Structure 1
C-alpha cells in the first residue's frame, strides 16, 4: 500500500514542478485545524509574493518535529535530500566560520521546505551573492510586558517619518505576533556592523522623540513597559520572520506586509494562512517593487558618529557573539551594581 502522500504541482519561473508532501492530513495547528497539506498549498497561493520578499537570500528554516506546540529547531544547513533545483550559498557567521545556507529561488522550494516541516522562514538582510552587504535596513519594534501591537503602532508611524527625514522609504509588516517590522531598501555598500550602527542611530533618535514610548535598552530590567527597538536584529546571522512567513501561534498568523494606511486599524491576528491568499489576490502585495529605489545610510552613519562624539558608545551584542570592539560589559546592570 502506498504511503499517505499528496503530489502538488507548483508553478514557477522554470515551469511546473511536482513536490511530494507526505502525511498531508497531519494537523500542524491543532487549534485552527490546519494540516500540512494546507500549509503547502498556502505557499503555492502566495508563492510569487513570498519569493519576491524572501528569495535570493540566505535563509534559515524553523522546523517542527510535530505540530506547533511541540519541539522545534533551526536548520541553517540545507536539509538532506534537497532536490537538485534547490541551491545554497556559503555565508560567514559572526564566529568567522563559513557554511552553506539554503536559498529560495521559486515557490517550489518553499513547498519542499514545508514538506520538511518548516513553519517559519528567516531570511538574511543581504542577497545570496553579496551576503556580507545588507540591502535592507530592518527595525524590529518589540512590545514589552504591559504593551502590545496597539502601543507599537505610534512608534512605527513616527519611525516612518524619521526614515523619510534621512531619505529612506519605509515598508511595514506585522511580525505575526505582537510586534511590528519596519524595513527600508538600501544600497548594498556597507557591511553588517555599519548597518547595525545606522539602526542604533535611528533608534536613539526615535528614543529622544518618544522617551516614554520606546527604548533601546538591551537589558530587560531597564526597558519598562516601552517598545524595545531591537537593534541586534541588524547583526550578521540575526533574522526575523520573513514577509508572508507563517508563525507557530494557535491562530496560524502570518507576518503580513501592510499598506501604511492600514496599520492603525489592522488586527494582526486576522492575517492568517487561510486569509492572506485572498487578501493578496484582491489587494495585491504592498511590498511589490520595494527594491526599485534603494536609499543610502550616510546620514544615519553621521548620526552614529555624532552620538559617539557626544559620549554615546557601542551597545551590547547578543551573548553568543564574540566580544566586539567598544562593547560594554555583558553584565546586566543590577548585577553590575550589586556584585554580591
Structure 2
C-alpha cells in the first residue's frame, strides 16, 4: 500500500519517504509525496520558523479522514542530526522535543505523517523565555474571516502606537495570527500578561466585535483573543504548516497590505509553492527586529491600578496560578449558589 519508497534531497541530505502514494487528502487526491514536495518547496521558510524551537508534531497516519495524534516527545528513531531540547510542562513532567534546524528535519517529520508543526515560542538556548508574543484572533460562531480582518486592523494600529510591529499570517482556518518578535527577557507568565493586555485594549476599542472572555458562554458572536495561547506548553500551528482540512490549506504568512484582498482558501499546498517562488518568505526578516515588552507590561499595571483588572483564567489542565480568578464558568458558579 502506498507504493515503493522514494528518496528526497533536502538541504544536502537524503531523506527516505515510505508509502509516497498514500492518499492524505481524499477530495483533491493529494498524497504523502505531495505533502513532502510542498514542504520542500517552502523549505527555507518553514525552516526559519522552526529553527531551534521545541516542536510538537500533529500526525495523521491515515490521512485527514483518519485518527490523528499530537506527538510531543521525540520519536525513538530520531536521527542524530536532529537536535532536541528538554522542556518542562506545567504539570511538572518533562520531555525531549525535536528542534528542527534544517529542511531535512521537516521532510523526516512528513514521512511520519506529520501535517502540522506546533513550535514553542522559545529557542532551545532559552527555554523559559519566549522570543515571540503570539496573538490569536479566533472567530467564534456567528463570525467569519472578515471579522478577524477588522480586528487585525485595529490590532495593527494599536501595535503601531506602542512602537511594535506584528507579523501576520492566516491560521489555515477562519482566524488570524499575529506574532511580535520580542527580546527573550520575560517569562511565560509575563508574556501572557502582555497578551491579555493586548486583548483588553482591542476589547475596549471594539467592544461589540472583540472579547477576551475565557468562558464560551460569555463570548457571543465576537472575535476571541485567545490569550492562553501564550501560556507555557500552548502552541500554535506555524507559518507554512499544512492544516488537516479537506482542501489541504496552509497557514500563510502575509504582508499587512494584502490583508483586505485575501481569503484563507487562497493558500494550499498547490498555490503556496507558486507564491513562495514569486515572493520568497515574506517574513524573512522577522527575527531581525526583536522588541521590548516594557510598554505593554506598564499598560497592564495601569489597567490593574485604574480599572481593578488582573489575571484571567488559565486552561483547565494547568495548576492553580498565583492571582488567578476562580476557574469556574459563570453558569456553574450561579448554579452552586
- Fold in common (TM above 0.5): yes
Aligned-pair distance for 1:93?
Answer: 1.1
| 1:176-205 deviation per Cα after TM superposition (whole angstroms, max 9, x unaligned) | 001000111110000100000001011101
Say which of 319, 330, 334 aligns to 1:333.
Answer: 330
Give the corresponding residue for 1:9. Answer: 8
State whether residues 168 and 294 of structure 1, in contact with CA within 8 Å, keep that contact through their aligned partners in structure 2. Answer: no
Partner of 1:240: 236
- Alpha-carbon shift at residue 5 of structure 1 (Å): 3.1
Name stretches of at least 5 consecutive residues in structure 1 with no aligned partner.
none
2:207 alignment partner in structure 1: 211
The secondary structure found in structure 2 opposite 1:173 is strand
Cα offset, 1:3, TM superposition: 9.1
Say which SS state the counterpart of residue 263 (structure 1) adopts: helix
| Alpha-carbon distance between aligned partners in 2 of 1:335 and 1:284, rounded to the nearest angstrom | 50
CA distance, structure 2, for counterparts of residue 241 and residue 129 of structure 1: 21
Residue 65 of structure 1, CA deviation: 2.7
User: Which whole-Å deviations, capped at 9, do the CAs of 1:64-89 have from their partners, x for residues lacking one?
Assistant: 13011211111100112122211111
Please give the residue correspondences for 1:40-189 in structure 2 after superposition, counting only pairs within 5 Å. 40-189=36-185
* In structure 2, distance between residues paired with 1:48 and 1:6: 24
Q: Indicate if the aligned counterparts of 1:28 and 1:68 stay in contact, CA closer than 8 A.
A: yes
Task: Report the Cα distance in structure 1 between the residues aligned to 2:259 and 2:139, rounded to whole angstroms.
Answer: 16
Q: What SS does structure 1 have at the residue aligned with 2:143?
A: coil
Alignment deviations for residues 138-197 of structure 1 (CA, whole Å, 9 cap, x no partner): 000000000111110010011011111112111100000010001111100001000000
* Distance in 2 between residues matched to 1:5 and 1:313, nearest whole Å: 58
CA drift at 1:257 = 0.2
Gaps of 5+ in 2: none
Q: TM-score, normalised by structure 1?
A: 0.96
- CA RMSD of superposed structures (Å): 1.3
Shift of 1:336: 0.7
Deviations 1:99-128, CA, capped at 9 Å, x for gaps: 211111111111010100111100111111
1:320 maps to which of 294, 317, 320: 317
Q: Provide the secondary structure at the position in 2 that maps to 1:317.
A: coil
Q: Distance in 1 between matches of 2:79 and 2:231?
A: 31
Deviation of 1:291 after TM superposition, in Å, equals 1.2
**What's the TM-score, normalizing by structure 2?**
0.97
